[in-house]
Structure 1
Amino acid sequence: MAKKQRTKRKQLKKKLLHKYRLVVLNEDTFEEKISFKLNRLNVFVTGTLFAIVLIAGTTFLIAFTPLKEYIPGYASTKLRQEATDLTFEVDSLQNKMSANEIYFNSIQKVLKGEIAPQKINKDSLLESFKTDTALANVEPSKQDSLLRKEVALEDKYNLFETATTKGDYVFFPPLKGAISNDFNTKEKHFGIDITAPEGTPVKAVADGTVIFSEWTAETGYVCVIDHGSNLISVYKHNSALTISQGDLVKTGEVIAMVGNTGELTTGPHLHFELWSDGYPVNPLDYIDFQ
């Protein structure tokens, strides 16, 4: 038995070490060009080393070069970074949309009489409406008064005599008429009342988006327009509305008709309010209604 095993080993060794010649000949002349002396062991070792080097080189190229980005299903570092940035942006936009939704819902509640108007403050809505604007000082400062006088002098020679600017906006009067009730925060009258015949067109004071356009028990047909930059205009006691929530309006576009609707009205007039950064401001400081 042992003799047979030794014989097999010798035969295997002989096969592995048996020399062969690999010759490259010219097919036409049979001239020998190149020849190699080989044996099976050399071919096996050389092939194994070549396979190892090939696998190692391929692994290196995939792991440490941009070629890995061409592999299906593999995301590059740049794409992952962009995806991460987009995730943060989407999350930020969702937070802003949630805050705006709370803000607009609070305006609707105010107009429906569910909460007090003085609690509207966009910066503090997420803190359970803790700010009371009725106690806030909405009177202009000395610097503000001087600026308004300067603007008034400039508007005196302006072709648009009925318009006044605030920031990037040019305000046009929503209605021409006499002022029957002035702006007074102490009496919680956050706008002005302008008398006019019933059915007189009411116009938008600036470009914006309609965020509220419905009937309320106390103030009748009400329209609220968001002009951007935390600026909102409110139109109450209308007899009819010509726009709907979500509509885009232009400066001077007819949005309603003067009326005498709602429990708090005393006759045909327009109750107009202007809110900036969540606080009511006196429309007479920005618009000439005469």
Structure 2
Amino acid sequence: MAHKKFKKKFLSIVLIPDDESSPKNIRIRYSVLTAAALLMIFIFVAVVLGAITYGKLVQKAYENISLREQNEQLTQQLQQINELNTELDKLKNYGRKVRNSLMGYVNLQSELENVNTTANAESNSNPGTFSVFNSIPVKAPLTGFISQDFNKNLHNGVDIVAPEGTPIQAAGSGIVLFSGWTIDGGNTIVIGHQKGYYSYYKHNLRNIVYENQVIEQGEIIGYLGNSGQKSFGPHLHFEIWKDGSPIDPRVLVVDLNN
């Protein structure tokens, strides 16, 4: 019984050397082997769990980075959408006013009559200052050279080249129907005159008039620039419309022929 008890407590390992010397007997307690095995299992399980946990953390980190990038992209897209909506609202407002003015739905006559009443009153005290002719856009908006002529099918106005920042004058007395930004025309001004005339001033550096403002012929309304997608250098795109159709500005503005 004592021998059996002894065998259960130890594991004997016999080492036989090659030099025919005496064999060596190594005894290891089963408890030590059990502890070592448990330790190895614990280490193995810890390594596996650590690897799994690390993998999950790395995956979550990548997911967080991806979500952050997606949030930034969504934020930028939302900002672009808001900017496009703002631009669309401006274009709708611009289109509505121009369309209404060209179709005759804007009653400029009564407001322009008030301008003429004031003009007549001042002309009585200062003869020669005002004229009925001033309400028709016949004055050159600025001095420069024509880089592109009028073409009814391709180009509804003339391009006048001058140094950037050159003051732009109203071609005739009237009312500002639009003063704002468009994608193609950049800073744009539209003035309604008497007799069904409308004048357009595009690609301005900046506008200094506001909508519904009463303008006199020769009054500075903005400054020449290079704004808008269809501008490829500092110039003024100048148009004149009559009863809903574009006409060659050179027909009315004699100074443009010089």
**TM-score scaled to structure 1, two decimals?**
0.44
Greater Rg by CA: 2
Kindly indicate which of the two structures has a greater share of residues assigned to helix: 2
Higher relative contact order, chain-length normalized (CA < 8 Å, sep 6+): 2
- What is the TM-score normalised by the length of structure 2? 0.49
